[in-house]
A and B are shown apart, each in its own frame.
Chain A
Amino acid sequence: MKESFPLIWIPLLPLLGAAFNLLLGRKLSRRWVHTVAVGTVFGSLVMTLFVLRQLYAGWDSHHHTMVTLHHAVFDWINAGAVQIKFGLMADTLTGVMLFIVTFVGALIHLYSTGYMDHERDYARFFGYLNLFMGAMLLLVLGDNLVVLFLGWEGVGLCSYLLIGFWYDKSGTQKLGLENANAGRKAFIVNRIGDLAFIIGMFILFAAVGSLDFADLSAAAAQGPQGPLMSSYAPFGFGPFSLAGVAALFLFIGATGKSAQIPLYVWLPDAMAGPTPVSALIHAATMVTAGVYMVARMNFLYMLTPSVMAVVALVGALTAFVAATIGLAQNDIKKVLAYSTVSQLGYMFMGVGVGAYAAGIFHVFTHAFFKACLFLGAGAVIHALHHEQDIRRMGGLKSSLSVTRLTFLVATIAIAGIPPLSGFFSKDEILWKAISTANPAAPWLGPVIYVLGMAGAICTAFYMFRLYTLTFEGKCRLSAEEQAKIHPPDWRMATPLVVLAFGALVLGVLGLPGLFGEHANFFHNWLAPTVDQGAKFAALAIPGAHVTPAILSKSHGAEGGLMALSFAIALLGSVIAWRVYNKGPSVWARNLTDRFRGPYNAIYNKYFVDEFYFLVVIWPFKKIAWLLWKVVDALIIDLLCVRGSARIVDLMGRLVRQFQTGSVQHYLAGLLVGVGVILYVVAQPPDDFRIRANSIKAAGAPLKVLVGERVFFDARRPVDKAMRALEYKWDFDGDGKVDEPQAPTQQKGQKEQAQRWSKRQMANFIYKKPGRYRVVMDVRDTRWHTQARETQVIDVIDPNAPKVPVSGSSTHGKGVH
Chain B
Amino acid sequence: MLLIAILAIPLVGAIAVALMPRKDEQGARHMGMVFTLLTFFVSLALIAGFKISDPGMQFEFSVPWVRSLGINFHVGIDGISLWLVLLATLLGPIVMLSTYKAIDTRVKEFVASLLILEMAMIGALVSLDLFVFYVFWEIMLVPMYLMIGVWGHGAKIYAALKFVLYTLVGSLVMLVAIIYVYVSHGAATGFYTFDYMVLTQSVWGEQAQIFLFLAFAIAFAIKVPMFPLHTWLPDAHTQAPTAGSVILAGVLLKMGTYGFIRFAIPLFPYGAAVWAPYISGLAVIGIIYGALVAYAQKDAKKLVAYSSVSHLGFVMLGLMAMNEAGVTGSLYQMLNHGISTGGLFLAIGMLYERRHTHELDQFGGLWRRMPVFAGMFMIIMLSSAGLPGLNGFVGEFLILVGAFTHHQGVAGTDLPIFIWHSRLMAGIAAIGVVLGAVYLLHLYQKLMFGPITQPKNADLDDASWREILTFAPLIVLIFAMGIYPKPFLERMEPAVKLFLKEYKVKYKASEGYTGQQPKQLASLSRSKYALPALSAPRAGIVAKTTMAGGKAVSPKVPKIVRPKIVPPKVVRPKIVRPKVRPRGGAAPAPRTPRKRISPEDMRRIRRQMQQRGRPPGRGGRGGAG
By a beta-carbon cutoff of 8 Å, the part of chain A in contact with chain B is: 22, 26, 74-82, 124, 146, 149-150, 152-154, 157, 160, 164, 167-169, 175-177, 180-181, 184, 187-188, 191-192, 194-195, 198-199, 202-203, 205-206, 234-235, 620-621, 623-625, 627-629, 631-632, 636-637, 641, 720, 722, 758-759
Q: Chain B residues near A164 (CB, 8 Å)?
A: 449
**Chain B proximity of A572: nearest CB distance (Å):** 40
**Chain B proximity of A139: nearest CB distance (Å):** 11
Q: Chain B residues near A80 (CB, 8 Å)?
A: 323-325, 328, 412, 493, 496-497
Q: Judge whether B388 and A206 touch: CB under 8 Å.
A: no
Contact of B427 among A22, A167, A199 (CB under 8 A): A199
B residues 279-310 touching A (CB-CB < 8 Å):
289, 292-293, 295-297
State in angstroms the CA–CA spacing of A722 and B578 once bound together: 11
> Residue B217 at the A interface, CB < 8 A?
no
Q: Chain A residues near B434 (CB, 8 Å)?
A: 188, 191-192, 194-195
B residues 399-452 touching A (CB-CB < 8 Å):
400-401, 404-405, 408, 412, 423-424, 426-427, 430-431, 433-434, 437-438, 441-442, 445, 448-452
- Considering residues A82, A152, A157, A160, which has the most beta carbons from chain B within 10 angstroms of its beta carbon? A82
Q: Chain A residues near B295 (CB, 8 Å)?
A: 620-621, 624
Q: Judge whether B404 and A202 touch: CB under 8 Å.
A: yes
State in angstroms the CA–CA spacing of A443 and B397 once bound together: 40
Q: Judge whether A628 and B430 touch: CB under 8 Å.
A: no
Q: Judge whether A632 and B401 touch: CB under 8 Å.
A: no
Contact of A167 among B367, B394, B496 (CB under 8 A): B367
**Chain A proximity of B576: nearest CB distance (Å):** 9
Q: Judge whether A188 and B437 touch: CB under 8 Å.
A: yes
Summarize B's interface: helix, strand, loop or mixed.
Answer: helix
Q: Judge whether B489 and A176 touch: CB under 8 Å.
A: no
Q: Judge whether A621 and B296 touch: CB under 8 Å.
A: yes
Q: Judge whether B449 and A167 touch: CB under 8 Å.
A: yes
**Chain B proximity of A160: nearest CB distance (Å):** 8
B residues 377-406 touching A (CB-CB < 8 Å):
382, 387-389, 393-394, 397-398, 400-401, 404-405
A-B contact pairs, 17 of them (CB 8 A): A22-B375, A79-B329, A79-B398, A80-B323, A80-B324, A81-B412, A153-B389, A160-B441, A164-B449, A191-B438, A198-B433, A202-B400, A205-B405, A620-B295, A620-B438, A624-B292, A624-B293
> Residue B368 at the A interface, CB < 8 A?
yes
**Chain B proximity of A563: nearest CB distance (Å):** 48
Q: Which residue of B lies closest to A638 (CB)?
A: B231
State in angstroms the CA–CA spacing of A76 and B394 once bound together: 9
> Residue B580 at the A interface, CB < 8 A?
yes
Q: Judge whether B484 and A176 touch: CB under 8 Å.
A: no
Q: Which residue of B lies closest to A78 (CB)?
A: B489
Q: Chain A residues near B397 (CB, 8 Å)?
A: 77, 146, 198
Q: Chain B residues near A194 (CB, 8 Å)?
A: 434
Q: Chain B: how many interface residues by the 8 Å CB criterion?
A: 70
Q: Chain A residues near B325 (CB, 8 Å)?
A: 79-82
12 more A-B residue pairs beyond the given contacts A79-B493, A180-B450, A627-B292, with a C-beta to C-beta distance below 8 A? A74-B486, A77-B398, A80-B323, A81-B323, A176-B450, A177-B450, A181-B445, A624-B295, A628-B292, A631-B293, A632-B231, A641-B232
**Chain A proximity of B19: nearest CB distance (Å):** 39
Q: Chain B residues near A168 (CB, 8 Å)?
A: 365, 367-368, 449-452
Contact of B289 among A206, A620, A631 (CB under 8 A): A631
Q: Judge whether B389 and A82 touch: CB under 8 Å.
A: no
Contact of A628 among B228, B296, B365, B404 (CB under 8 A): B296
Q: Judge whether A627 and B424 touch: CB under 8 Å.
A: no
7 tightest Cβ-Cβ pairs between the two chains A and B? A80-B324, A180-B449, A624-B296, A79-B328, A175-B451, A202-B404, A167-B449
Q: Judge whether A202 and B426 touch: CB under 8 Å.
A: yes
State in angstroms the CA–CA spacing of A198 and B403 once bound together: 13
**Chain A proximity of B618: nearest CB distance (Å):** 39
Q: Chain B residues near A628 (CB, 8 Å)?
A: 292-293, 296-297
State in angstroms the CA–CA spacing of A194 and B452 once bound together: 33
Q: Which residue of B lies closest to A205 (CB)?
A: B401
- Considering residues B230, B375, B389, B398, which has the most beta carbons from chain A within 10 angstroms of its beta carbon? B389
State in angstroms the CA–CA spacing of A233 and B609 once bound together: 115
State in angstroms the CA–CA spacing of A406 and B448 once bound together: 40
Q: Chain B residues near A191 (CB, 8 Å)?
A: 433-434, 437-438
> Residue B485 at the A interface, CB < 8 A?
yes
Q: Judge whether B449 and A177 touch: CB under 8 Å.
A: yes
**Chain B proximity of A68: nearest CB distance (Å):** 24
Contact of B324 among A22, A79, A198 (CB under 8 A): A79
Q: Judge whether B289 and A627 touch: CB under 8 Å.
A: yes
Q: Judge whether A637 and B293 touch: CB under 8 Å.
A: no
Q: Chain A residues near B580 (CB, 8 Å)?
A: 758
Q: Which residue of B lies closest to A151 (CB)?
A: B388
Q: Chain A residues near B496 (CB, 8 Å)?
A: 79-80
User: What number of residue pairs across chains A and B have CB atoms under 8 A from each other?
Assistant: 169
**Chain B proximity of A634: nearest CB distance (Å):** 11
Q: Judge whether A202 and B401 touch: CB under 8 Å.
A: yes
> Residue B573 at the A interface, CB < 8 A?
yes
Q: Chain B residues near A181 (CB, 8 Å)?
A: 445
**Chain B proximity of A99: nearest CB distance (Å):** 25
**Chain B proximity of A757: nearest CB distance (Å):** 9
Contact with A along B496-513 (1 / 0, CB 8 A): 110000000000000000
Q: Judge whether B296 and A627 touch: CB under 8 Å.
A: yes
Q: Chain B residues near A235 (CB, 8 Å)?
A: 423-424, 427
State in angstroms the CA–CA spacing of A637 and B496 once bound together: 37
Q: Which residue of A lies closest to B485 (CB)?
A: A77
**Chain A proximity of B82: nearest CB distance (Å):** 16
Q: Chain A residues near B449 (CB, 8 Å)?
A: 164, 167-168, 177, 180
Q: Judge whether B445 and A180 touch: CB under 8 Å.
A: yes
> Residue B154 at the A interface, CB < 8 A?
no
Q: Chain A residues near B324 (CB, 8 Å)?
A: 79-82
Q: Which residue of B lies closest to A206 (CB)?
A: B405
State in angstroms the CA–CA spacing of A235 and B425 once bound together: 10
Contact of A758 among B230, B486, B489, B578 (CB under 8 A): B578
Q: Chain A residues near B616 (CB, 8 Å)?
A: none
Contact of A234 among B398, B423, B430, B431 (CB under 8 A): B423
> Residue B558 at the A interface, CB < 8 A?
no
State in angstroms the CA–CA spacing of A74 and B365 once bound together: 40
State in angstroms the CA–CA spacing of A234 and B490 once bound together: 33
State in angstroms the CA–CA spacing of A353 and B388 once bound together: 32
Q: Which residue of B lies closest to A622 (CB)?
A: B296
Q: Chain A residues near B578 (CB, 8 Å)?
A: 758
State in angstroms the CA–CA spacing of A152 and B332 once bound together: 23
Q: Chain B residues near A74 (CB, 8 Å)?
A: 484, 486
Contact with A along B159-174 (1 / 0, CB 8 A): 0001000100000000
State in angstroms the CA–CA spacing of A759 and B483 once bound together: 100
Contact with A along B475-486 (1 / 0, CB 8 A): 000000001111
Q: Chain A residues near B424 (CB, 8 Å)?
A: 235
State in angstroms the CA–CA spacing of A323 and B318 once bound together: 46
Q: Judge whether B371 and A26 touch: CB under 8 Å.
A: yes
**Chain B proximity of A153: nearest CB distance (Å):** 5
Q: Judge whether B388 and A153 touch: CB under 8 Å.
A: yes
**Chain B proximity of A415: nearest CB distance (Å):** 39
Q: Chain B residues near A75 (CB, 8 Å)?
A: 486
Q: Judge whether A184 and B293 touch: CB under 8 Å.
A: no
Q: Judge whether B404 and A625 touch: CB under 8 Å.
A: no
Contacts known (A79-B398, A153-B388); A720 close to B293, Cβ less than 8 A: no
Contact with A along B208-242 (1 / 0, CB 8 A): 00000000000000000000101110100000000
Q: Chain B residues near A620 (CB, 8 Å)?
A: 292, 295, 438
Q: Chain A residues near B293 (CB, 8 Å)?
A: 624, 627-628, 631-632
Q: Judge whether B231 and A198 touch: CB under 8 Å.
A: no
Q: Chain A residues near B489 (CB, 8 Å)?
A: 77-79
Q: Chain B residues near A195 (CB, 8 Å)?
A: 430-431, 433-434
- Considering residues A150, A623, A624, which has the most beta carbons from chain B within 10 angstroms of its beta carbon? A624
B residues 443-482 touching A (CB-CB < 8 Å):
445, 448-452
Q: Which residue of B lies closest to A722 (CB)?
A: B573
